[in-house]
Structure 1
Amino acid sequence: RLTELGGYMAVDTGQPGLAQRYYIQALRLAQAAGDRAYGGYVLAASMSHLAAQLGNPREIAQLARAAQEGARGQVTPRAQAMFHAAEARGHALLGDARTCQVVMGRAVAALEQAEPETGDDPEWIAHFDHGYLADELAHCHRDLGQAAEAARRAKEALAALPETRARRRGIGLVLLASAQVQQREVERACHTGTRAMELLGTVRSSRGAEYLDDLQQRLAPYGQEPAVREFGERLELQAA
């Protein structure tokens, strides 16, 4: 578990190569211990998210399916929900809306079967609640261009996050702002993005900075609008 957490920290500090080495080692340790469930988690939660960051969408779905196959019969419904959500992210990035919709449905159904208050879940999956799933689904809808659903799921995810989770709330706000851009609500997107920027300015997070850069690219076609120019100036100032 500590090895996998080391990989997570490496991702958040902009060291994907180091993260990959940590994740491979965590997977080997899980295999050596005969813990197929945790090995599946490393594949679906850690390695697939790294593949997304590195721009390898086909690999995301492959890793998530490998997790499902390898841990079949060994995991709780909560873990199954996370595995399905990871696979859905891959299909969304590939633009396969039909398959993504089916797999998202499986994720929702699995989480509905999970025991309340984590029940018999191992500690490594206890965090995966309805808010976390909503965040995963918001990414899927955004990547498929389904702006209204992306915004709805992003708001649902934010509502489940405590104010103390600055990094996750900041990224969630960027996700909402991206959906607002897709809906051509540019001024509102800039306002939401500014709130995200303020939160992410309180933490060191390479991943958060990447989300803000992505939002700026989405706003680029509206670069002549005052709100967009102001957002860009503030982002440049914060990055300096």
Structure 2
Amino acid sequence: MLNRRAAVTAGLYSLAAAATPLPPATRPATRPGTSLRVGPADVTRVRAMAAYFGQIDDLFGGGHARSAVAAYLVNDVAPLLQGASGPTRADLFTAAAEVTYLAGWMAADDLQPGLVQRYYIQAVRLATEADAPLMRATALRSLASQAVELGHAAHGLALADAAADALHNTAPARTRAWVNGMRAEALAATGHDPRRVIRLLASTETDLERADSPPASDLTGNYRREGFEHQVGLTLLNMGDLSGAEEHLAASTAARRPDERRTRALIGTRLATVQIRQRRPEAAAATLLHLTDDLTVVKSARLHRTLSQIRGAWQTHRADPTVAQADQLLLSSLAAVKT
């Protein structure tokens, strides 16, 4: 149910995942012999749970309560899908896509790339069935982000372009900016056409400045200035501009809201990594010490992999008092995950 462009250009990266069925414990499928009457109240409940799980994820990371989201999909959401009809059907499938997307987002935080792909592709299918282009574009964009993170830049660009194709001309400017920012990041990762990268970033910023603010719970368009700063930082990092990347990653980290612990921690550790690459371990240590409250509560395998890499990178600088203090913080954070 991926569109032709996504299926053809994304290649084996997406098609292999699409051909692999989800395990029984995680597949959003209906139960044999069950048929439920579904109404608007069911849609309201599913969306409320998606918002609740999203808040938990922001606060504590994808490694916390991920199994609860998977169980909710199987035990509560999936049985509703076969009972949906009429106007409720599209709304319910869109809500199911939102929960499935969140499950993929949390699995990415837990370093489960195969499971991430399958969840996101299921979200694309559900959104397609619901004729929900914004949700479809959201899932395709996240597939693109994962592809770039895993080193598949060309596939990431194809998926980001497919996400742009999924948007109608009436798509909110904020969502369009979110997708175009990903296109810039993916294009930069390919190493081609830096001028087009800059043009994409410029159009992203223009759309973001013109956008009206959406509800904070809106999965398909909650793209803010701090998110754009992060995107610019990653794009410049892919282009080899370490000082520029540091500037924008620092701005993104500083602007995060108090309840965005996981995001602030992830971006902050990326900032610290860039500072280490510039041979400034003391600056990286200071960055991480400012994130003490986040690093001690967020459960994210992706985050803790980066922390382990940072500890290895500054091993010869532990005599510095700031580095030594930060190293102890990272050691404690990593130990807390194992207990």
TM-score past 0.5 threshold:
yes
> Equivalent residue of 1:203, what SS?
coil
Give me the whole-angstrom Cα distance separating, in 2, the residues matched to 1:144 and 1:212.
23
Q: Who is 1:38 aligned against?
A: 135
Instruction: Within 5 Å, give how 1:4-15 maps onto structure 2.
Output: 4-15=101-112
Q: Deviations over 1:129-153 (max 9, x none)?
A: 1111111111112232212221221
Q: Alignment partner for residue 29 of structure 1, among 98, 103, 126?
A: 126
1:37–1:74: 8 Å Cα contact kept in structure 2? no
Instruction: Within 5 Å, give how 1:22-171 maps onto structure 2.
Output: 22-44=119-141, 46-96=142-192, 97-115=194-212, 117-118=213-214, 123-171=218-266
Q: Which has the larger radius of gyration?
A: 2
AA matched with 1:38? M
Give me the whole-angstrom Cα distance separating, in 2, the residues matched to 1:51 and 1:132.
19
Give me the whole-angstrom Cα distance separating, in 2, the residues matched to 1:237 and 1:179.
22
Aligned residues: 234
Q: CA deviation at 1:43?
A: 0.5
Question: Measured at CA, do residues 89 and 216 of structure 1 come closer, stay the same or move farther in structure 2, by a change above 3 Å?
Answer: farther
Question: Measured at CA, do residues 188 and 69 of structure 1 come closer, stay the same or move farther in structure 2, by a change above 3 Å?
Answer: same
Q: CA deviation at 1:77?
A: 0.8
2:281–2:323: 8 Å Cα contact kept in structure 1? no
2:173–2:208: 8 Å Cα contact kept in structure 1? yes
Aligned sequence identity (%): 26
Q: Which structure shows the higher helix fraction?
A: 1
Give me the whole-angstrom Cα distance separating, in 1, the residues matched to 2:239 and 2:293.
28
- CA-atom RMSD in angstroms: 2.6
Question: Measured at CA, do residues 7 and 203 of structure 1 come closer, stay the same or move farther in structure 2, by a change above 3 Å?
Answer: same
2:135–2:220: 8 Å Cα contact kept in structure 1? no
Q: TM-score of the superposition, structure 2-length normalised?
A: 0.62
AA matched with 1:61? L
Question: Measured at CA, do residues 169 and 141 of structure 1 come closer, stay the same or move farther in structure 2, by a change above 3 Å?
Answer: same
- Provide structure 1 residue ranges, at least 5 long, that are not aligned to the other structure: none
Give me the whole-angstrom Cα distance separating, in 1, the residues matched to 2:311 and 2:220.
33
